[in-house]
Amino acid sequence: MAFHLKPKEEKFFSLLDQHATLSYEAAELLSQAINGEVAKETALEKIDALADQADVLVMETMKRLQKTFITPMDREDIQQLIDQLD
């Protein structure tokens, strides 16, 4: 039986993947609005909703980063990825 001081967190990659997906969806909506495929007001509302979802993911990632002892990659790298995605 293994003894763990603090749990190892494996969900960082899932959170980063979800954030990247939201960023991609927002970029697609922006592209569609610029090309006139979607009304700008509609695109803006959807992009705002995606931004709110991304903010929740940022907060969740930061909470996990603060409470996790062993991370799958350097903490600074996770922070940098979150900053760049946001």
**Mean pLDDT of the region 30-53:** 95
Residue 1's pLDDT band (cuts 50, 70, 90) = very low
- Retrieve residue 1's tokens: 């039986």
Q: What is the pTM of this model?
A: 0.77
Mean pLDDT of the chain: 86
DSSP helix/strand/coil, 32: helix
Domain regions of the chain by residue span = 12-85
**Is the pLDDT confidence value at 5 over 60?**
no
Task: Say how far apart CA 51 and CA 48 lie, in whole Å.
Answer: 5
